[in-house]
Amino acid sequence: MNECKPLVPGGDTLTALEGAAARAAPDMTPQELASTVWSLATVGRTVGWTAGLKAAAALEAAAVQTAPRMHAQDVANFLRANATLGRVPGPDARAALDAAVGRVCPRMDANEVASTLWSYATLGLTPGAAAGAALEAGAYTRPFFGST
């Protein structure tokens, strides 16, 4: 039986992807931003590429701008992507994301709460006071594993 092997992008492709992401970041919607960072993290995990994300500054600046409009899944995906890459967002992005977590956590489902908590823990970060309180409340009030 033939085994299907994943497409593994080379260095030139990764460089092109980073450049495109950096150029597009200022105009991205919150969902586009979260999806882009998640896609880069997924590619990075596949090829062992975890350092030197050249687009990080542009993507973090976009996170600061879009965080007030992020939905629960956008915040969870952005944080999880950074945790997957092992990249701690800078102080401005962390503050914006903390504020977003505090704002959207009441609407997060159990998976988004768990993913967000995992992301903070993986990055060795402590959520800000409002985000931490919202996540703690979310962890105790969300049904997990199909319970009601």
Q: How many C-beta atoms surround the C-beta of residue 90 within 10 A?
A: 14
Lowest mean pLDDT among 7-16, 35-44, 55-64, 70-79: 7-16
* The pLDDT of residue 110: 87
Average pLDDT of 26-41?
Answer: 93
Which one has a higher pLDDT value, 45 or 26?
A: 26
Q: How confident is the model at residue 96 (pLDDT cuts 50, 70, 90)?
A: very high
Q: 5-13 contacts: CB < 8 A, separation 24 or more?
A: 6/46, 8/46, 8/47, 9/43, 9/47
Per-residue pLDDT of 8-22, as tens digits, reads 666 677 778 888 888
* Region of residue 88 (left: phi > 0; alpha: psi -120 to 50; beta: else): beta
Q: Is the pLDDT score of 143 beyond 90?
A: no
Asked if residue 6 has pLDDT above 80, the reply is: no
- Residue-level pLDDT at 26: 95
Q: Which of 39-53, 62-76, 111-125 comes out lowest in average pLDDT?
A: 39-53
User: Given this model, what pLDDT does residue 12 score?
Assistant: 78
> Which of 34-43, 50-59, 88-97, 124-133 has the lowest average pLDDT?
50-59
The mean pLDDT value for 67-96 works out to: 94
Q: What is the pLDDT of residues 45-63, one digit of tens each?
A: 655 554 456 688 899 999 9
CA angle 14, 63, 84 (to 5 degrees): 50
